[in-house]
């Protein structure tokens, strides 16, 4: 069994895999990480390997706790990947993006796949039909856009995303909602259109914290999988065991 750790910007996701099946998943705050890990090893004593993707600020002291219980692989640009990485600056590439591209490779090798991860930031990653990772784009996520408007102005409030009936806002709050939500919707659909015009038989995968909210806003045919990153990390752990 494998322990998969996705340490993001705001929380840590923990998952237990039995081969390719997720048998347990939970999200904890960084301060609860050590106690949660200890509890997991009591609950799943057959776990003998772990991988961590640390894009947040989880400390080395906390990470070392995992290595007490099992073999631990810390994902980095030096980790082995099953595809050709043509990113110009691989050392600056987020390890979460490596995991997403790996999941895309194993889901459908030798095909054109665009992975959109809608989290704190929205990332776009392109794997072509030669199994070559080309790169993509990074833009602010939904909550980051709301936060920026609140923090960079004197009077705009901090809002949470909500469903809208009309793109024409009839109040300041509705105008903000419209700007963020329709802005993201048009961005997603526009970028997918761009990639569709260049890559034949493009598969689009949407994942990340805002997957469910955004999936109904995308006009193109997509596959929504909120656990895509965890699956990619599990594949990478297995790939780096050999």
Catalytic residue among 32, 96, 125, 129: 96
Whether 87 has a binding-site annotation, put simply, is yes
Residue 42, judged by CB atoms within 10 A of its CB (0-12, 13-18, 19+), counts as exposed
Whether 61 has a binding-site annotation, put simply, is no
Query: Which residue carries 């995968």 as its tokens?
Result: 205
Whether 129 has a binding-site annotation, put simply, is no
Whether 162 has a binding-site annotation, put simply, is no
For the question of residue 201 being annotated catalytic, the response is no
Whether 8 has a binding-site annotation, put simply, is yes
Whether 29 has a binding-site annotation, put simply, is no
CA distance linking residue 189 with residue 18, whole number of Å: 36
Q: Residue 219 has what DSSP assignment?
A: -
Whether 15 has a binding-site annotation, put simply, is no
Residue 68, judged by CB atoms within 10 A of its CB (0-12, 13-18, 19+), counts as exposed
Whether 66 has a binding-site annotation, put simply, is no
Query: Which residue carries 């329709």 as its tokens?
Result: 182
Whether 95 has a binding-site annotation, put simply, is yes
Whether 13 has a binding-site annotation, put simply, is yes
Which tokens go with 104? Answer: 């895309």
Whether 71 has a binding-site annotation, put simply, is no
98 neighbors 50 (Cβ within 8 angstroms)? no
Q: Render 156-218 in DSSP notation, one character per residue.
A: PPP------S-SS-SSHHHHHHHHHHHHHHHHHHHHHHHHHHHSTT-EEEEESTTHHHHHTT-
Whether 195 has a binding-site annotation, put simply, is no
Helical pair 228-239 and 95-107, crossing angle rounded to 10 deg: 90
Question: Which residue numbers belong to the known binding site?
Answer: 6-13, 87, 94-97, 117, 120, 172
Active site residues: 96
Question: Which residue numbers belong to the known binding site for substrate?
Answer: 87, 94-97, 172
Question: Which residue numbers belong to the known binding site for ATP?
Answer: 6-13, 120
Question: Which residue numbers belong to the known binding site for K(+)?
Answer: 117
């Amino acid at each position: 069994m494998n322990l998969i750790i996705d340490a993001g910007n705001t929380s840590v996701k923990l998952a237990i895999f039995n081969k390719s099946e997720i048998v347990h998943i939970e999200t904890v705050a960084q301060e609860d990480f050590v106690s949660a890990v200890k509890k997991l090893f009591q609950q799943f004593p057959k776990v003998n390997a772990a991988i961590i993707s640390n894009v947040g600020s989880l400390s080395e002291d906390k990470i070392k706790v995992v290595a007490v219980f099992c073999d631990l692989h810390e994902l980095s640009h030096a980790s082995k990947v099953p595809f050709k990485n043509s990113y110009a600056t691989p050392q600056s590439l987020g390890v979460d993006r490596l995991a997403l591209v790996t999941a895309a490779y194993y889901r459908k090798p030798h095909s054109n796949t665009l992975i959109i991860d809608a989290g704190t930031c929205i990332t776009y990653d392109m794997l072509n039909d030669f199994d070559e990772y080309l790169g993509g784009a990074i833009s602010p996520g939904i909550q980051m856009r709301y936060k920026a408007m609140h923090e960079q102005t004197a009077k705009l409030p901090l809002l949470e995303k909500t469903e809208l009936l009309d793109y024409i806002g009839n109040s300041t709050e509705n105008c903000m909602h419209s700007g963020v939500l329709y802005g993201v919707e048009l961005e997603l659909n526009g970028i997918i259109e761009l990639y569709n015009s260049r890559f034949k038989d493009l598969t689009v995968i949407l994942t990340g914290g805002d997957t469910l909210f955004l999936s109904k806003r995308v006009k193109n045919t997509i596959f929504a999988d909120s656990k895509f990153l965890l699956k990619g990390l599990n594949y990478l752990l297995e790939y780096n065991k050999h």
